[in-house]
Structure 1
Amino acid sequence: MRAVGIILAGGNNEKMHELSHKRAIAAMPVAGSYRSIDFSLSNMTNSGVQKVAVLTQYNSRSLNEHLSSSKWWDFGRKQGGLYVFTPTITVENNSWYRGTADAIAQNLDFLKNCHEPYVVIASGDGVYKLDYGKVLEYHIEKKADITVVCSELPQGDDITRFGVVKMNSDGKITEFEEKPENAHGSMISTGIYVVRRRLLIELVEKAQEQNQYDFVKDILVKYRGLKRMYAYPLQSYWRNISTVEAYYQTNMDFLKPEIREYFFRQYPNVYSRIEDLPPAKYNPGTEVKNSLISSGCIINGVVENSVLFKKVFVGNDCTIKNSIILNDVYIGDHTHIENCIVESRGTIRANSSFIGKEKIKIVVEKNERYIM
C-alpha cells in the first residue's frame, strides 16, 4: 500500500477516572483478550500498511511493553516496521507533546524519511475494523487533500466528545465543529484521516511556526474551507472507549452474538500479543451465562453477562453480573459484584459486595498477593 501509518496513542483523558491512572487509554483491555490499540494496528497490517509509527506519551510503560515486538501484527519486514516514538529531549526541543499536531511535529523526520506518498492517521482508542486501502482509493478518486473517516453517532453517546461534520451531496465537508456544545447533526469524525505526506508535513510545519499544537482545531478546522476535505462514511461497527461509560458499553457489546461474529470470526482478523496461558477452568458447580471468559481464568461461582479478562480467579459462591473484571484479579469467596469495572491486579476479599446503581462503579483494591 502506498501509505505510511501514524497512530496517536499518547493522550490522557480524565473521563476514564481511575482506569487511566496506570495505563494509557490505547492500552485499555477490550473484549477479553485485546488492547484498544490492537484494532488500529490490525487494520494497518490488514490494509497492507507496513510502516507504522505509534506516538506514545502518558503512562506509556504497559503500552510500550505491549508493542515490544512487531511480530504479532506482522510488521517485521525489511521494507517496513513498527516504530514507537516517545517525547525526546533534543537541542531544539525540551517539551512533552503539547497536542496531536505537536506530536507529529516532533517526529517529522520519520515522515520526511519515508517515500510513501500518503499517510493514514488513526487514534489508539477506537474499536473497529476498516480497510484503509478503500479509504485511500476514495481519497484519490475525490482528488482530496484530506479525507476524514466519519460515522453516525451511536445512540446515547455524548456528542460533545467528538468533532461534528457536515457535507454536501458529493461528500465534501462544508462544516467541521470540534466538540460543540450544541451540535446540529450526528455525523462525527472517528479520528481517522488520510492525507498526502508532503501536505501533512507542510501543514504541521506551519502550525509549529504559529505555536499551534492541535491537529483537529489548528489544521482540520482551520483549513476546512481552504483545502479539499472529504468525508468517508464508515458503515460498520465503530466505538471510541475514552470515557468510563463508553468503555463499559463497548465491552458489553461483545456479548452480542453478531458483534462477536464480526470481530472474532469474519475476515480480516484482529491480532494481539499472545501470552502462554492455560485455557479457562470451570470447576463443578460453576454457572456461566452469556459471558466472555479469557484464558488463565478459574471459575467457581456464577458469572452472568460479564467480561472476565486473563488470569481472573472467582471464588466459591460468588456472583458476578453485568461487570468487567480486568486482568489478574482474585475474587474471594461469597463475593457479589454487579454493574462494576474491577481494576486489574486487585484482590477482592471474601464476603465483599460491590454494586453500581445509578452509574458504573469502578472497584480498585490493592493486590495483597503481591505486597510484602
Structure 2
Amino acid sequence: MRAVGIILAGGNNQKMRELSNKRAIAAMPVAGSFRSIDFALSNMTNSGIQKVAVLTQYNSRSLNEHLSSSKWWDFGRKQGGLFVFTPTITVGNNFWYRGTADALAQNLDFLRRCHEPYAVIASGDGIYKLDYSKVLEYHIEKKADITVVCTEVPEGDDISRFGVVKMNDDGRIEDFEEKPVEASGNAISAGIYVIRRRQLIELIEKAASENQFDFVKDILVRYKNMKRIYAYKMDSYWANISTVDAYYKTNMDFLKPEVRDYFFRQYPDVYSKIEDMPPAKYNPGADVRNSLVSAGCIINGKVENSILFKKVFVGENCVIKNSIILNDVYIGDNTYIENCIVESHDTIRANSRYVGEGGVKIVVETNERYVM
C-alpha cells in the first residue's frame, strides 16, 4: 500500500478515571488478551502498510513495553518498520505534545523522510477491523484532499464525545461539529483519516506557524469549506473506549458470539504481543458461564457474564458477575464482585464485596504482594 501509517496514542482524558492513572488509553486491555492499539496496528499490517509511526506521550511506559518488539504485527522488516515517537526536548522546542496537530508537527522530519505519497492517520483507542486500502481507493476516486472514515452510532448513545459530520449525497462533508452539546445527526468521525503526505505536511506547518495544535478543530473544521473533505462510510463493528462506560460496554460486547466470531475467526486476524502462559485451569467447584477466561487464570469459584484477563486467581466460594478483571489479580475466598472493573495487579482480600449499583464501579486495592 502506498501509504505511511500514523497512530495517535498519546492522549488522555479524565473520563477513564482511575483506569488511566498508570497506562495510556491505547494500552488498555481489551477482550482478554489484546491491547486497544493492537486493532489499529493489525489493520495497518493487514492493509499492506509497511511503515507505521506511533506517537505516544501520557503514561507511555506500559504502551512502550507492549511495542518493544514489532514482530508481532509483522513490522520487523528491513524496509519500513514500526517507529515509536515520544516528545523530545530539542534546541527549537521544549514542549510536550499540545494536541494531535502539534504531535504531528513535532515529528514532521519523519514525514519528510518518507517516500509514500499518502498517509493514513488513526487513533489508538478504536476497536474495529478495516482495510485502509479500500479507503485509499475511495479517496483517489473522489479526488479528495482529506477522507474521513465515518460510522453511525445507535440511538441513545452519547454522541457528544465524537465529531459529528454532515455530508451530501456524493459523500462530501459539508459540516463538521467537534463534540457538540446537541447533535442533529448520528453520523460521526471514527478518527481515521487519509490524506496526501505532502498536503499533510503543508497543513501541519501552517497550523504550527499560527500556534494551532488540534488536527480536528484547526484543520478539518477550519478547512471544511476550502478543501475537498469526503466521508468513507464504515458499516462494520466500531467502538471507542475513551470513557469507563464505553470501555466496559466494548469488552462486554465480546461476550456476544457474533462479535467474537467477527474479530477472532474471520479474516483478517487481530495480532498482539504473545506471552508464554499455561492454559486456564478450572478446579473442582468452578462454575463458569458466558465468560472470556484468558491464559494463566485459575478458577475455583463462580464466574458469570465476565471477562478475566491473564493470570487471574479466583478463590473458593467467590462470585463474579458482569465484571471485568484485569491482568494479574488475586481474588480471595468468599468474595462477591458485580458490575465492576478490577484494576490489574490488585489483591482483593477474602470476604470482600464490591457491587456497582449506580453504574460501573472501579476497584483499586493496595497490592500487598508487591509491597517491599
TM range (shorter): over 0.9
Tell whether 2:275 aligns with 1:275: yes
CA–CA separation in structure 2 for the residues paired with 1:89 and 1:187: 39
Return the offset for 1:100.
Answer: 0.1
Corresponding letter in the other structure for 2:101: A
Corresponding letter in the other structure for 1:122: A
Corresponding letter in the other structure for 1:38: D
Return the offset for 1:370.
Answer: 1.1
Tell whether 2:102 aligns with 1:102: yes
**CA-based RMSD:** 0.5
Structure 1, residues 2-33: CA drift from partner, whole Å, max 9, x if none? Answer: 00000000001100000000000000000000
Instruction: Output aligned runs, 1:321-360, within 5 Å.
Output: 321-360=321-360
After TM superposition, the score normalised by the length of structure 1 is: 1.00
Could you say which residue in structure 2 is the equivalent of 1:217? 217
Could you say which residue in structure 1 is the equivalent of 2:88? 88
Q: SS in structure 2 opposite 1:140?
A: helix
Could you say which residue in structure 2 is the equivalent of 1:157? 157
Return the offset for 1:156.
Answer: 3.5
Could you say which residue in structure 1 is the equivalent of 2:302? 302
CA–CA separation in structure 1 for the residues paired with 2:37 and 2:318: 32
Could you say which residue in structure 2 is the equivalent of 1:13? 13
CA–CA separation in structure 1 for the residues paired with 2:348 and 2:332: 6
Return the offset for 1:158.
Answer: 1.2
Q: Is the 8 A contact 1:345 1:366 kept in 2?
A: no
Corresponding letter in the other structure for 1:145: D
Q: Is the 8 A contact 1:310 1:326 kept in 2?
A: yes
Q: SS in structure 2 opposite 1:76?
A: coil
CA–CA separation in structure 2 for the residues paired with 1:155 and 1:94: 44
Corresponding letter in the other structure for 1:96: W
CA–CA separation in structure 2 for the residues paired with 1:155 and 1:98: 33
Corresponding letter in the other structure for 1:39: F
Could you say which residue in structure 1 is the equivalent of 2:227? 227
Structure 1, residues 178-203: CA drift from partner, whole Å, max 9, x if none? Answer: 00111100000010000000000000
Return the offset for 1:367.
Answer: 1.3
CA–CA separation in structure 2 for the residues paired with 1:266 and 1:288: 25
Q: SS in structure 1 opposite 2:135?
A: helix
Structure 1, residues 208-229: CA drift from partner, whole Å, max 9, x if none? Answer: 0000000000000000100000
Could you say which residue in structure 2 is the equivalent of 1:266? 266
Q: SS in structure 2 opposite 1:195?
A: strand
Return the offset for 1:77.
Answer: 1.3
Return the offset for 1:166.
Answer: 0.4
Return the offset for 1:358.
Answer: 1.4
Report percent identity of matched pairs: 80
Could you say which residue in structure 2 is the equivalent of 1:34? 34
Q: SS in structure 2 opposite 1:247?
A: helix
CA–CA separation in structure 2 for the residues paired with 1:52 and 1:148: 19
Q: Is the 8 A contact 1:298 1:311 kept in 2?
A: yes
Return the offset for 1:344.
Answer: 0.2
CA–CA separation in structure 2 for the residues paired with 1:267 and 1:154: 26
CA–CA separation in structure 2 for the residues paired with 1:154 and 1:276: 39
Q: SS in structure 1 opposite 2:207?
A: helix
CA–CA separation in structure 1 for the residues paired with 2:308 and 2:198: 45
Return the offset for 1:157.
Answer: 2.4
Instruction: Output aligned runs, 1:141-156, within 5 Å.
Output: 141-156=141-156
Could you say which residue in structure 1 is the equivalent of 2:205? 205
CA–CA separation in structure 2 for the residues paired with 1:219 and 1:180: 17
Q: SS in structure 1 opposite 2:221?
A: helix
CA–CA separation in structure 2 for the residues paired with 1:35 and 1:51: 20
Instruction: Output aligned runs, 1:106-121, within 5 Å.
Output: 106-121=106-121
CA–CA separation in structure 1 for the residues paired with 2:73 and 2:212: 34
Corresponding letter in the other structure for 1:59: N
Return the offset for 1:155.
Answer: 3.8
CA–CA separation in structure 1 for the residues paired with 2:335 and 2:344: 17
Return the offset for 1:269.
Answer: 0.2
Gaps in structure 2 of 5+ consecutive residues:
none
Q: SS in structure 2 opposite 1:159?
A: coil
Structure 1, residues 128-147: CA drift from partner, whole Å, max 9, x if none? Answer: 00000000000000000000
Q: Is the 8 A contact 1:99 1:214 kept in 2?
A: yes
CA–CA separation in structure 1 for the residues paired with 2:358 and 2:328: 27
Tell whether 2:367 aligns with 1:371: no
Tell whether 2:361 aligns with 1:361: yes
Q: SS in structure 2 opposite 1:180?
A: coil
Gaps in structure 1 of 5+ consecutive residues:
none
Q: Is the 8 A contact 1:157 1:246 kept in 2?
A: no
Could you say which residue in structure 2 is the equivalent of 1:286? 286
Corresponding letter in the other structure for 1:310: K
CA–CA separation in structure 1 for the residues paired with 2:13 and 2:79: 35
Corresponding letter in the other structure for 2:130: L
Count of matched residue pairs:
372
Structure 1, residues 48-104: CA drift from partner, whole Å, max 9, x if none? Answer: 001000000000000000000100000111111000000000001000000000000
Structure 1, residues 316-344: CA drift from partner, whole Å, max 9, x if none? Answer: 00000000000000000000000000000
CA–CA separation in structure 2 for the residues paired with 1:154 and 1:323: 23
Q: SS in structure 2 opposite 1:82?
A: strand
Structure 1, residues 299-325: CA drift from partner, whole Å, max 9, x if none? Answer: 000000000000000000000000000
Q: Is the 8 A contact 1:5 1:53 kept in 2?
A: yes
